[in-house]
Amino acid sequence: MSTVETPAASSNEAPPPSPLRRVASFAANQQFILFLVLVGVMVFFDFHNSRFFGTSEFTNLLVDFSEAVLIAGAEMYVISSGGIDLSVGSTIAVSTVVGAYAIQYLEGHHFGEFPSLLLGTFACAGVGAMVWVINALLITKARLVPFVATLVTLSMGEGLALVFSKGGTVGYDPAAAVWSSTGFWIFRWLTLMVLTVTVVLGLVLHFTRYGRYNFAIGSNPFAARAAGINVNRHVASVYVLSGVLAGLTGMIWYFNTSGGAPQNGIGNELEAIAAVVIGGVSLFGGSGRFTGIILGVAILTVVHDGLVFINIATTWNEVVVAGFIALAAVLQSMRPGTKRLM
């Protein structure tokens, strides 16, 4: 989209000659601020411990990034369509457990390693989709507010993950661990797949009708309906998408921890929402840039991993994250045209 400079545009207000011309100028600023923060944090950690800029640490960073970015992307879709999703974390837990059982069963029946892992991935995505079909039904048919509906599936998911796994890790799988640690340079294959999906999510959100409708519904559902958009169908599809992404994240956890543990991903919905807030996405819906949440996830990941490098206990992580959320929220409320309650 670097060719959006048109005669029409140049005859209007002189636009900045950047490919991001379509982004409102302040939003562009916020992206830039986030980028500076990310670079600043990384330089800070490297200044205190020169091993931070090493290949192995970047590999780890990307692995942690890939565990968080898909559900943050899912949360971005949901929040910008005017909803909220509390159940991404617990869906990771359920899907990782069910996926582990599926792989165990398939490998036990001589399905071969690769087909088993592939089918296990489908099982994870399927579980995620089922959880979100429940969400979608509760929201569009039973007319629950998204907060309550996803609170229901949050509790249900956490509970079912424990019931299914009987409290322990399902299926230790060294093959998965070996496969997931291969790749080239700082990229593992799994990381590359996640990054590809992330790019597709961003493109769909900003350059297709589906993404446009997402923002329109978040901005004014009545207007969206009057314009002929099937609002209920779209909202339902966003929750199903969110479920599939959480299910895939469950599979990533399976690979990275070599098994399905019921505590995988629990509480991660708050990290995802934090990334969305830091990324400058309005919690009222209708606006935000996908690059913002990518930067948000990157900042959270770097902070989380970097604290270890400067000898600060990881227990401080949440406190530091809180600081970033507060900073981002204040930045956002200073934005012109922000809705205020008081």
Partner 1 sequence: MESTPENNDLTSSKNRQSGPVGSGVDPSAPMLLSLRDITKSFGAVQALQHVDLDIPAGQVTALIGDNGAGKSTLIKTVSGIWAPTSGSMYWQGQEVHVHTPRDASHLGIATVYQDLALCDNLDIVQNMYLGREDTKAGMLDEISMELATTKTLKDLSVSTVKSVRQLVGSLSGGQRQAVAVARAVMRESQLVILDEPTAALGVSQTAQVLDLIKTLSSRGIAVLVISHNLNDVFTVADRIAVMYLGTLVSHGPIANYDRNSAVEMITTGKSDRVAALASSN
> Least distance from C-beta 250 to partner 1, angstroms?
29
Site track 282-321 with partner 1 (rule: CB under 8 A), x = hit: x---xx----------------------------------
Residues 46-75 interacting with partner 1 (rule: CB under 8 A): none
Q: How far is the CB of 293 from partner 1 (least distance, A)?
A: 17
Contact map string, positions 191 to 210, toward partner 1, x by CB under 8 A: ------------x---xxx-
Q: Which residues of 56-93 are buried (b: 16+ CB within 10 A; e: fewer)?
A: ebebebbbbbbbbbbbbbbbbbbbbbbbbbbbbbbbbb
Rounded Cα gap, residues 268 and 146, in angstroms: 18
Contact 246, 70 (CB under 8 A): yes
224 belongs to the binding site for partner 1 (CB under 8 A): yes
CB 214 to partner 1: min, Å = 11
269 neighbors 118 (Cβ within 8 angstroms): no
Q: Please state, in angstroms and rounded to a whole number, the distance separating the CA atoms of residues 84 and 150.
A: 8
Closer to partner 1 by Cβ: residue 1 or 322 = 1
Residue 269: how many other CB atoms lie within 10 Å: 25
DSSP sequence for 130-145:
HHHHHHHHHHHTS---
CA distance 260 to 2: 44
| One residue of 177, 179, 212, 329 binding partner 1 per CB under 8 A | 212
Strand intervals (E) in the chain? 183-184, 187-188
Query: Of 36, 163, 227, 322, which lies in the binding site for partner 1, with binding defined by CB under 8 A?
Result: 227
Q: Tell me if 84 sits within 8 A of 149, measured CB to CB.
A: no
Instruction: Select from 282, 280, 284, 270 the least CA-distant residue to 321.
Output: 270
Question: Is 9:271 a contact under the CB 8 Å cutoff?
Answer: no
Residue type for position 333: S
- Number of chain positions touching partner 1 (CB under 8 A): 36
Closer Cβ to partner 1, 14 or 341, answer by number: 14
Q: How far is CA 72 from the centre of its chain?
A: 2
Candidate residues 55, 56, 166, 337; the one interacting with partner 1 per rule CB under 8 A: 337
233 near partner 1, rule: CB under 8 A: no
Asked whether the beta carbons of 304 and 79 are under 8 A apart, the reply is: no
Q: Which is nearer to partner 1, 163 or 203 (CB)?
A: 203
Question: Can residue 24 be called a binding residue for partner 1 (CB under 8 A)?
Answer: yes
Minimum CB separation of residue 15 from partner 1 in Å reads 8
The distance of closest approach from Cβ of residue 33 to partner 1 in the complex, given in angstroms and rounded to an integer, is 20
Q: Does 229 interact with partner 1 (rule: CB under 8 A)?
A: yes
Which positions touch partner 1 (CB under 8 A)? 1, 3-4, 6-9, 11-13, 15, 21-22, 24, 203, 207-209, 212, 215-216, 218-220, 222-229, 282, 286-287, 337
